[in-house]
Structure 1
Amino acid sequence: MSLLSGDPATATVRVADTVKILYIDGNDFRRLLNKSSSLQMYFNRLLSRRLAEVNVLRSQEFYSGMVGNLSEMPPSDLFQIFHVNQKTGILSLVLLKGKADLAFRDGDLVRAEYYDKNGREAFYEILKEKQGRFKFVQGLGPQDMQSQELGDFTWLLMDGIRQIDEEMKLPDKSYC
């Protein structure tokens, strides 16, 4: 699409067999496009399909009600918002170690998964994160609706913050 927009773009392509590559610079491409209505139609369809895909993704984010970055809202604040407002749904995060999911039912935490951890351990690990994206989707599946709470939310949050504080106070043992 960079040939249409004029914006520079790069791509990495790996092939398994011998191939022939056609190179067309921007000016030649524009002339070719002006002469071929079938080529114009092809690129119009391609562009329309890409725009539709982007619109679907944007509408899903809009429907979710809450999306953002942890750099703007730390996990502890984010979790408190869901607890205080008694939200029910899945908070999905994309973090350095991978995807994380937390399930809230009426503001109480009923499931946490991150990297290779589950439950309270996952919750405590997510609390430490400072970078990543999040998205909240309302509603829970039947299994999460029936799950037990992981514990009193305020206690979990305070315990997690205490653990983070203790880790920060530990002396660096790498010099020993």
Structure 2
Amino acid sequence: MRTLIFGMNASLDGYVAAPGDDLGWSAPSDELFGWWLEREQMIGTFLYGRRLWETMSVWSTGDQQPGATPAQVAFARNWRDTPKVVFSSTLDEVDGARLVTGDAIAEVTRLKAGDGAPMRVGGRTLAAAVMRAGLVDEYEVVTHPVLLGGGAPHFGALDGWVDLDLLETRTFPGGVVLTRYATRR
């Protein structure tokens, strides 16, 4: 069975995007970007909702951008080469990924039951559904020292609590803190 990881940047007050989908507050330091790159290189499949897919699609040519750092080039190449599944009921096609328009939970359950490298789920709406279904094995929360006061919440409503075990903590420049947890089964 494959491990399913949900990891995102979050503000201290629990938002993944400020009002208007502003992500400017979450620009990573070089060290944090390197950590994300390292984590993404171990992922075998990315699972995206539509909005995050559209945001992440900039990486399809990120290695060809003027001034791209070596880490950005490596991130872009890894992102482009890693299999991706996009879950959307509004898109007709996606370049460089497989589109699923049907039951997301059934498809994630099927993918998780197979063998292979860990998968990462991203996208607030998709992740919330997968969390409610009890499919997430690990949570990576990268908390930035900012209070947004509103926006898109990091976690959606759950049907009950989920007990977690702390796996790792780490501090990055600028007061950014990683906490990584495993779902207690």
* TM-score normalised by the chain length of structure 1: 0.28
Question: Which structure has the larger Rg?
Answer: 1
Which structure has more RCO (C-alpha within 8 Å, separation ≥ 6)?
A: 2
Report which of the two has the higher share of helix: 1
Report which of the two has the higher share of strand: 2
* TM-score normalised by the chain length of structure 2: 0.27
